[in-house]
Structure 1
Amino acid sequence: MASASHREMTVKDGLLGLSPAFSGEHAWCRDKMMISKELAGGVPLPAFFRDGGFQRAIDRYAEISGGSDRRAVVSMWSLYYFSGLSIPYLLARRLGGQALPVGFEEMTIALEDNGLPRAFGVPHAGTIESGVETEGFTAVGPLLETHLGEAVMRLKACGISAKLCWNNAAVYIDYALRLTGGEPSDGPDLPLFVRGHLPDGGVNPFCGCVSYLDEEGEQVARRKVCCLRYMLPGIPSCGKLCALPSQRNPQ
């Protein structure tokens, strides 16, 4: 791995939001991740999960969505959580060389009126890295080491499996890695999803979460575990991505 040179990143006047990568087609990320002091209604993540905020959010989303299966409600909620966290983080890291501080203990979260995650706050704009490889495991490493395990542990305590949580995170990580280039565009050889162990020897929770199949000449991404969205009224199918054949093209 190349040697790294870091310098502190500062945000100027909020013109580009938290990261210069949050521009053009990625400008929507400005509303999903920002400095915590600029996030209206933000609550520290540890307190949110510890003091009942998460349970109230799930209750609210269940009421609004009409979802009667709590596993499906929590799973759908987590999809918004993992997308709002993972995509901006990887865009900043891979397009801007910017390592955002995404440790679970130091972040905040704000919700929509329906209880779903609206945005995340980080304590500062992180560092700019020079000469750091940001492929696969290296790109995802800090997110995995400092945040995802903590989030999965708390979501699991609400009745959904850890495998479901990791798969929900994996689909957005896969999307962001492909969106930012530098990985095989068709995905089947992406080490993050095919190797059983992490670089440090630990078990890789993403192994097998996303696979790429050839269907009539088209490379199709497929989840390993269904996200249960079909149990919620009015939620569209995720199509060919779905792990369940019966739900890929519902009538």
Structure 2
Amino acid sequence: MTATANHDGKTGFGPSSLKTVFAGEHAWCGEKMMLSSELEGAVPISDFFGSGGFSAALDTYAATHGGTDRRAVASMWSLYYFSILTIPYIVARRADHVLPVATENMTIALAEDGLPRAMGLAAEGDWSEGKDADLLSFVTPLISQHLAEIVAQLKAQGGIAPKLAWNNAAVYIDYAFNATERERPADGDAWASRSLFAEPHLPDGSTNPFHGCLRHELDGEETVCRRKICCLRYLLPGVPSCGNLCALPAQRKQ
């Protein structure tokens, strides 16, 4: 993407490629989030969920990997979906760039095994000028314009509870925000994204669906991050445990 100067001297983004929004260790995000016009096999997300595409993708994934529990298959599928949506969104937002992620204007492309491969945007988004720089403000439009609708589809077509779906999205937002933290919080708390899981409401007054999804607790002498609800991956053959992150004590050492 070509850099341009704004009226206040800050660097913005000109029309070219989204890939330069994603730099360094997160350069891979440019392969997962791009313009729809550049995404091979792109299908509108609304069509994908509304015309049987999602159900067919779950069938393909289940047949490829031997999964028989529909909820576990849908949950694993959603982990891929949420990772390629939320990590690029948060990484870009931390770079003061707001990606337009409303579902009606986005596309999705699948891998051969039915899992999400990449997402497409109708436009590159806008320079944010550093406004609303806290995580709760970051996620409010992401929730209202995209995640809430997908969580509803996962329940209706995949059979997974909304609390599970929100927990699946939470782990990637947590990763992306902590990985892009520039400064240690003033109170010395090493968990940069803590507010997302501690606050019951979003800045607009609506209920925060991520409240309580993740927690930090002591395991011996080590502080570990844990989910509130298990993602059900243990029901799928050949899929490794998520270790200490798992909500189920019996699965943490598998």
TM-score above 0.5, yes or no:
yes
Count of aligned residue pairs for this structure pair: 241
Deviation at 1:11, TM superposition (A): 3.6
Q: Aligned equivalents of 1:229 and 1:55: distance in 2?
A: 19
Match for residue 77 of structure 2? 77
Do the aligned partners of 1:44 and 1:109 also contact (CA within 8 Å) in 2? yes
> 2:98 touches 2:125 (CA, 8 Å); kept in 1?
yes
The alpha-carbon deviation at position 10 of structure 1 amounts to 3.2
Counterpart-to-counterpart distance in 2, 1:27 and 1:226 = 30
Cα deviations across residues 26-49 of structure 1 (Å, max 9, x unaligned)? 111111000011000000000000
By how many angstroms is 1:187 displaced? 2.3
- Compute the RMSD of aligned alpha carbons: 1.9
Displacement over 3 Å in runs of 4+:
5-11, 182-186
Of 198, 201, 207 in structure 2, the residue corresponding to residue 203 of structure 1 is 207
Q: Which residue of 2 aligns with 1:24?
A: 24
When normalised by structure 1's length, the TM-score is 0.91
Q: Give the distance between the partners of 2:68 and 2:118, measured in 1 at CA.
A: 26
Task: State the partner residue of 1:50.
Answer: 50
Q: 1:191 pairs with 192, 195, 201, which one?
A: 195
Is the partner of 1:175 in helix, strand or coil? helix
The unaligned stretches of length 5 or more in structure 2 are 1-7
AA paired with 2:56? R
Residue of structure 2 equivalent to 1:238: 242
- Give SS of 1:130's match: coil
User: Deviations 1:121-145 (Å, cap 9, x if unpaired)?
Assistant: 0011100111313221012122112
Give a deviation string over 1:86-128, Cα, whole Å, max 9, x none. Answer: 000100110x210000001110000000000000000111001
Is the CA contact 1:222–1:242 (under 8 Å) kept in the aligned structure 2?
A: yes
Equivalent residue for 2:128?
A: 129
CA distance 1:9–1:145, change in 2 (3 Å)? farther
Distance in structure 1 (CA, Å) of the matches to 2:107 and 2:184: 31
Does the Cα contact within 8 Å between 2:19 and 2:27 map onto a contact in 1?
Answer: no
Distance 1:209 1:98, change over 3 A: same
TM-score of the pair, normalised by structure 2: 0.90
1:148-192 CA-to-partner distances (Å, cap 9, x unmatched) read 001101011021000000000001011111011057563287111
Query: What residue ranges of structure 1 are gaps of 5+ in the alignment?
Result: none
Aligned to 2:119: 120
Larger relative contact order, structure 1 or 2 (CA cutoff 8 Å, min sep 6): 1
2: CA distance, partners of 1:115 / 1:167: 22
> More displaced, 143-152 or 20-29?
20-29
